[in-house]
Structure 1
Amino acid sequence: MNKIIDNLTPGQIVAELDKYIIGQKDAKKNVAIALRNRWRRMNATPEMQQEIIPNNILMIGSTGVGKTEIARRLAKIADAPFTKVEASKFTEVGYVGRDVESMVRDLVEQSINIVKTKKKDEVKIKATEAVEDKILNILIPPVKKSGNKNADIDLDAQEDTELNQETREAFRNKLKNGDLDNRKIEIDVSGGSMAPIGVMGGPIDDVSMMNIQEMIGGFMPKGNKKRKVSIAEARKILMEEESAKLIDMDEVKEEAIWKAENLGMIFIDEIDKIASSGGKSGPDVSREGVQRDLLPIVEGSTVNTKHGAIKTDHILFIAAGAFHVSKPSDLIPELQGRFPIRVELEALTEDNFYHILKTPKNALTKQYVAMLEAEGVALTFSDESLRELASLAFQANLEVENIGARRLQTVMSHLLNDILFDVPEKIPAGSEIEISKEMVSEKLSSLIKNKDLSQYIL
């Protein structure tokens, strides 16, 4: 079982989420319980493990209040495979569009990547040594042993071998220090992947297409081609090849499927867009069809992927929607029943906006400070300026469309665009800039006076 989950209680999970997301205590509490319940299930008796099913969550709240961010951060905390899909992208089986099973395949791909990255770290030392040897063989080929039995020639050959070995070791140190990174060498690179295959006739599902491509790919010759690249680039290319040789892909697939089945999370956004508004004709028929296609996946079924079959019984599904036009009861009853936990996210207040600018590890203000730091310019914000920014953003949301915390990106961009343009030409490295309340009022007064902010919405 995942070591991170082992060590985190629901309270600690909420504390981790608090580092990035302001407010929404109820939503954080429910997702923390859902995450801890996974550990509890893993530690139950084997008979009960199959019986305990996750309590899927339906988040209700307008745009920009933190629905997606909560789910994404939760997956990071758990080091779990996570995929986000928009329900509005799916269409009923038989119509042109994405098939609902594709989200499970995306989850498996994500899981494969997580496991492969972990395995690459495990074989990194061995792979690095193999890559160094390959590069050294190109730079200074090893001396071939002579089959001659003449003592003098044999002694010369031994001296050549020793000299060659010393030179190789000197170059190995240079390689490790990065002194040779810009030098060009010629390496053999395995041939690229096949071009996509078009199939004439009727529609074909994803799995069949993948199987056809793999089958035809097996018959195609896998030739190598020579490329002239810098040693830094060669190291990356060869590292991928050497790591692939050392990793057992069957083991990766097995672990990835287990991880996806038991720890995987699928975030279905815009689920309100597929809720029927009551009619039974036109687009409503297709919307209900999508819900019926989603139902078996959420209830628990087996989906075929190119890495093997995966059961969806214990995947945690988190659905979200604004539900401005429709309401949760407009979803088909069977699907409603599969999302027993309902969480209503609160609208953000002016005080929330102030804390969003100041507190999170990835706060917008900290992002702009880091960007200008790269130019050698020190940017600071006074507390009053943050209060003023929060006030203006909140006001704009009231007067125009409420886009939640995304409004902060609009006002911050408008406030700092001139500074970002002037660095480094007019504002050189070593400069210090403090954003004051007066500067905020002056820069953004025109933005607020002009009620139509549509041109500034990101």
Structure 2
Amino acid sequence: MSDDKNKDEVLETVSDSDDKKEFEDICYICRRPESKAGKMIHLPMNSNICICSDCMQKSLDAMNNSNFNYSDMMNQINMQDLFAMPPMMNNFTGDPVPKSQKIKKKKPKEEQKPLIDLKNIPAPHKIKAQLDDYVIGQEYAKKVMSVAVYNHYKRVATNTQDDIEIEKSNMLMIGPTGSGKTYLVRTLARLLNVPLAITDATSLTEAGYIGDDIESVVSKLLAAADNDVEKASQGIIFIDEIDKIAKKKNTTSRDVSGESVQQGLLKLLEGSDVEVPVGASSKNAMVPLVTVNTRNILFICGGAFPDLENIIRERLNKKSSMGFGADLNDKYDNVPNIMDQVTIEDLREFGMIPEFIGRLPIIFTLQGLTKDMLVKILKEPKNAILKQYQKLLALDEVDLEFDDGAIEAIAEKAIAKKTGARALRSIIEDFMLDIMYEIPKDDNIGRVTITKDYIEHTGGPVIEMRGTPALEEKHQV
């Protein structure tokens, strides 16, 4: 008999210990769990009732108050729990109400798997092949970015397994507006499935001045990673319009949006611990802060760098001399793709400080878009603009086609606007407005063909009704 009793005591002790591991106590007064309120004080008369230290202190302070009403306190006490009376039944489930209100303890977070696995990193030629499906031209830029990103994430995955520490491969992209800088980075981040933050350098100022602080670029990356610090610390930050923070020349005022911003970005590019607010763009007392390490964040900076061509030409023309074999002073005035000959000295002359350029070891240029490239952009990518409009009209069961003359006319208009690929959308929206408005009126329209005359406003589109032999034959095929 005594052995059975000892076994029951042992089982009860084990169950109590398991219960303590699985559940956490709740304060009888404020109903806060132990994880929020801290260690609980168990009343000696009944171990099922516990009170947090804050409520106990408030109770003692109230009792010491001369205006304290003891009758009100007794009315608020649950006598059933206090004297361990038989439990009441739950009105909803019919189960007995437990003597102590407890909640399950939160399980500790499992060790997160690394975001980038060395075996799953695609090789540079595979990255470039994927970029080719979305980006037309810019072969050199796609090749440089593929190798740089591949090496960067190999560095992240290996996490310096030996004494040889691999430095970051931050990039600087130089190219005219509309050449695809932002689109390249956005496509690259989508293919790699890593968080991406795109920010504009024009809004950045030195800390304490009107504008965004330097750390706001990391805040945007944290938001893009759903406030996951581990995921954000391995993402990509693209800072556009980086040429706008060049050092101002011939100024007597403090350069809070130029050289000062470059100085502030140095620690981010190199790698440091940065405190950023969660769910907000600025620090204040009401917003919690988290620490993000930028050591494994890949920074890509891009800018058009206007007037940089003149600096390059001026440097090259200095080599000219006098005599029969001398170079002409205007030899480099009409050289195509002169931006390819940019050097670090040219960027310093433009206004970028040496420390900033030194933290961007990979510098490459993008070419301006030609007519042939614009024609391919309209037709060949997976999400080409013409394919988007064809899909829109296909939802109305209407075929949309463009003849070759129309596509070339669109490309010529885009070149005249001098805004690169951005001009294509506005041009197409202009002449597609009437078509998108009129087609839903008539259910008999089966095909619309855009011609060169319609683009140049000298004619109209070719409209074919349903029942046309050629149209019927196409749908049967």
Q: CA deviation at 1:259?
A: 2.4
Give the letter for the 1:386 counterpart: I
Partner residue, 1:332? 353
Listed as ranges, the gaps of 5+ residues in structure 1 are 113-252, 446-458
1:81 equivalent among 187, 195, 201? 195
Q: CA deviation at 1:353?
A: 0.5
Partner residue, 1:434? 449
CA distance in 2, matches of 1:281, 1:443: 56
Partner residue, 2:120? 6
Residue aligned with 1:8, SS = coil
Residue aligned with 2:363, SS = strand
Q: CA deviation at 1:424?
A: 1.0
CA distance in 1, matches of 2:451, 2:267: 55
Give the letter for the 1:111 counterpart: A
2:147 equivalent among 25, 33, 42? 33
Report if the CA contact (8 A) 1:270-1:321 is conserved: yes
- Which range moves more in the overlay, 433-442 or 352-361? 433-442
Change (3 A) 1:91 1:46: closer
Partner residue, 1:373? 394
CA distance in 2, matches of 1:406, 1:5: 37
1:406 equivalent among 422, 427, 449? 422
Residue by residue, what CA displacement relative to the aligned partner does 1:231-266 show, whole Å, maximum 9, x if unpaired? xxxxxxxxxxxxxxxxxxxxxx6xx3222223x100
Partner residue, 1:289? 260
1:268 aligns with 2:230: no
Partner residue, 1:60? 174
Q: CA deviation at 1:276?
A: 1.6
CA distance in 2, matches of 1:20, 1:105: 29
Residue aligned with 2:448, SS = strand
Give the letter for the 1:86 counterpart: D
Report if the CA contact (8 A) 1:34-1:54 is conserved: no
Q: Output the TM-score relative to the length of structure 2.
A: 0.58
Partner residue, 2:305? 323
CA distance in 2, matches of 1:386, 1:310: 48
Change (3 A) 1:70 1:443: farther
Q: CA deviation at 1:280?
A: 4.0
CA distance in 1, matches of 2:123, 2:370: 29
2:230 equivalent among 238, 250, 258? 258
- Which range moves more in the overlay, 403-412 or 429-438? 429-438
CA distance in 2, matches of 1:42, 1:382: 49
Change (3 A) 1:88 1:37: same
Q: CA deviation at 1:42?
A: 4.2
Residue aligned with 2:252, SS = coil
Count of aligned pairs between the two proteins = 296
Q: CA deviation at 1:45?
A: 6.7
Higher relative contact order (CA 8 A, sep 6+): 1
Q: CA deviation at 1:6?
A: 1.7
Q: CA deviation at 1:40?
A: 2.3
1:417 equivalent among 403, 428, 433? 433
CA distance in 2, matches of 1:82, 1:49: 30
CA distance in 2, matches of 1:373, 1:5: 41
Partner residue, 2:165? 51
- Which range moves more in the overlay, 85-94 or 380-389? 380-389
Report if the CA contact (8 A) 2:116-2:157 is conserved: no
Q: CA deviation at 1:83?
A: 0.2
Larger radius of gyration: 2
Residue by residue, what CA displacement relative to the aligned partner does 1:386-414 show, whole Å, maximum 9, x if unpaired? 123223322x13xxxx2111111222122
Change (3 A) 1:308 1:352: same
Listed as ranges, the gaps of 5+ residues in structure 2 are 1-114, 279-288, 309-345, 461-477
Report if the CA contact (8 A) 1:274-1:287 is conserved: yes
Partner residue, 1:235? none
Partner residue, 1:310? 292
Residue aligned with 1:76, SS = helix
Change (3 A) 1:355 1:5: farther
- Which range moves more in the overlay, 39-48 or 385-394? 39-48
Residue by residue, what CA displacement relative to the aligned partner does 1:140-173 show, whole Å, maximum 9, x if unpaired? xxxxxxxxxxxxxxxxxxxxxxxxxxxxxxxxxx
CA-atom RMSD, angstroms? 2.4
Give the letter for the 2:453 counterpart: E
CA distance in 2, matches of 1:383, 1:294: 48
1:387 equivalent among 397, 400, 408? 408
Report if the CA contact (8 A) 1:378-1:430 is conserved: no
Name the % identity: 38
Report if the CA contact (8 A) 1:41-1:49 is conserved: no
CA distance in 2, matches of 1:96, 1:340: 31
Q: CA deviation at 1:442?
A: 3.1
The structure that is helix-richer by fraction is 1
CA distance in 1, matches of 2:199, 2:211: 13
Give the letter for the 1:319 counterpart: C
Partner residue, 1:226? none
CA distance in 2, matches of 1:35, 1:353: 27
CA distance in 1, matches of 2:456, 2:446: 23
Partner residue, 1:171? none
1:349 equivalent among 353, 370, 375? 370
Residue aligned with 1:423, SS = helix
Q: CA deviation at 1:377?
A: 2.2
Give the letter for the 1:321 counterpart: G
Q: Output the TM-score relative to the length of structure 1.
A: 0.60
Report if the CA contact (8 A) 2:205-2:256 is conserved: no
Give the letter for the 1:324 counterpart: P
1:363 aligns with 2:477: no
Partner residue, 1:70? 184
Report if the CA contact (8 A) 2:172-2:362 is conserved: yes
Partner residue, 1:231? none
CA distance in 2, matches of 1:318, 1:287: 18
Report if the CA contact (8 A) 2:168-2:296 is conserved: yes
Change (3 A) 1:47 1:4: closer
Residue by residue, what CA displacement relative to the aligned partner does 1:290-344 show, whole Å, maximum 9, x if unpaired? 1111111112111123473111112110001111046632111111111111111
